Structure 1
């Protein structure tokens, strides 16, 4: 544990009810935090002397929101619905855009699509060549949805058993990120971290490859969740992957080498980490957490900064 990098808790929700699910970094360095607290999106300035959250938006028809991803510097796509344990009410999942209008102006929320044929839209990624089109992970049925936030068109880009859940954990494909020609993914239930080549439109363009497995016996308290990918100067691209209950793994995308980067053991620095975002300068990561000491307990979500 002594060889691990230092960490700094930037913020914690002390009221005991806020589960942070996902995180995105704006071009100005401000963080966006999606939560299961009444479907709210918050912002936080990590450079402030005492960072505090500000409410950005609430979402009609959603009491919990999941993924958040940039389509442009001032427009983000958010997914959400009626939250239930490990899933959402069938027919409730919606896709929204949040448009920032400038200093002092409220963000504009627009419902751009409904996805009735799913109980989960989870991890999310925007297509690099068509950033208004996003891919979203169906953790319950092992599918990758493709959603055009301009037209509202929704279809299944692809599905595969490798993305499905099993009995160990009720969530399969969880976090997703596009890096180079691949869609990278974490499967919570199967303990896989892997990738699949995709075309410019997000369609499957080759075979799945499993790069790493979560160490130990898979359970809700030992499972991958979400991640981000850093490209260090002169080094190999590396994924930083959250794992319950208190770990971050680093996975070299070239060699496949996996290391315990942070946490583990009796560490309480991260309490059920859920997602990661690389800092604007690429020299660290922000980690957000569910913040509950036991599954189903009070949620006191954290935002933690760790150098890499």
Structure 2
């Protein structure tokens, strides 16, 4: 059963307007959509086709075999137990979850992909309480997608909007009890994905999966600047997702690259510039978003979307699989931790499109690492 759903608690994201419908999110669309980007069509149609092709690639990843998966060790002890569905979502209504944060009251804020997975549907920010009841906080425009989200210390929610409309694409903020507004524009031919706020609450960092770029955005609002563009962040022709998940952790910006299967650490200098890129691990096939065991630990929990797996990456770069499809994973896109609780968003890209949010319990002793590992 789906949890009860209540209406929007805040105004619509932008005034209603007619938007062209996107094609359904399905594997068979990828080739034709990619070809359409090279055809001599109108500019806005090219942008739309490119974006849908990038999103549609995830459906291909969700069913593609990966030879490198065998090199990742399975955990000998159960690191995560008691995994169950907290909230079932409706893929056909655009409720394919993309990203997640946990609030102080243990409620979740979840972004959905809207029209990027279900033609003509709206993306949303959902609040899911500990019982699984969900409420729409913000509803977006048909054809758009909400991707990365992060939370400020004052309770403000920041989120990315992927759109072909210049007036909507960018980083938005939702103050507690307030109205959403855009604080920075981003290119419509990019794909804003992971999002993080620095500890000072001054700068937001955005992973652009199409452009191989990390953008820096003032949290107070202003112009987005290319903080770092590098081949290590870029996609490739076979996997059109480059930089994907992004976290600010212990003085560095950490980024996953889906195309390369890497987890990268980029120190932030005293002047705020990017330092030398360090590859924490490679062979992390089909990696999507990730998070850390806690604020003091470099132990990473990473969603492997196309493999239907969650992996733990240790500080020395070794990896172990801790959850699989047998635990109900269905295209996991992001992970959040609070204490010994783990929360996983499952986008349900592959049939039967089992979109949902899962909850489980972490056994830290099974990780064989200290609190500051």
Partner of 1:122: 193
CA–CA distance in 1 between the matches of 2:311 and 2:149? Answer: 22
C-alpha deviation, 1:15, in angstroms = 6.0
Deviation string for 1:8-42 (max 9, x for gaps)? 21111146332101001112211000001212100
- For residues 1-308 of structure 1, the aligned pairs below 5 Å read 3-4=77-78, 5-6=80-81, 7-14=83-90, 16-17=92-93, 18-37=95-114, 38-46=122-130, 48=131, 51-59=132-140, 63-82=144-163, 89=164, 91=166, 93-101=169-177, 107-116=178-187, 118-129=189-200, 131-199=201-269, 202-205=272-275, 207-214=276-283, 222-231=285-294, 236-244=297-305, 245-253=307-315, 255-263=316-324, 267=326, 269-279=328-338, 282-294=339-351, 299-308=353-362
CA–CA distance in 2 between the matches of 1:117 and 1:14? Answer: 27
Bigger Cα displacement from structure 2, 176-185 vs 57-66: 57-66
Contact 1:135–1:202 (CA<8 Å) still a contact in 2?
Answer: no
- Identify, as 1 or 2, the structure richer in helix: 2
C-alpha deviation, 1:98, in angstroms = 0.5
C-alpha deviation, 1:202, in angstroms = 4.4
Segments of 5+ residues of structure 1 without an aligned counterpart are: 83-88, 102-106, 216-221
Contact 1:90–1:118 (CA<8 Å) still a contact in 2?
Answer: no
Deviation string for 1:178-215 (max 9, x for gaps)? 1102211110001111211113564202x211122235
Contact 1:39–1:80 (CA<8 Å) still a contact in 2?
Answer: no
1:232–1:162 Cα change, 3 Å = closer
Please report the RMSD computed on the Cα atoms of aligned residues, expressed in angstroms: 2.3
1:63–1:213 Cα change, 3 Å = same
1:54–1:224 Cα change, 3 Å = same
Segments of 5+ residues of structure 2 without an aligned counterpart are: 1-73, 115-121, 363-373
Contact 1:71–1:132 (CA<8 Å) still a contact in 2?
Answer: no
CA–CA distance in 2 between the matches of 1:59 and 1:26? Answer: 22
Bigger Cα displacement from structure 2, 107-116 vs 29-38: 107-116
Deviation string for 1:96-121 (max 9, x for gaps)? 110112xxxxx421122212364211
- Identify, as 1 or 2, the structure richer in strand: 1
1:223–1:15 Cα change, 3 Å = closer
C-alpha deviation, 1:243, in angstroms = 0.3
Query: How many residue pairs are counted as aligned between the two chains?
Result: 276
CA–CA distance in 1 between the matches of 2:183 and 2:102? Answer: 22
CA–CA distance in 2 between the matches of 1:181 and 1:15? Answer: 37
Contact 1:93–1:120 (CA<8 Å) still a contact in 2?
Answer: no
CA–CA distance in 2 between the matches of 1:289 and 1:121? Answer: 19
Matched position secondary structure for 1:119: coil
TM-score (norm 1): 0.82
Larger Rg: 2
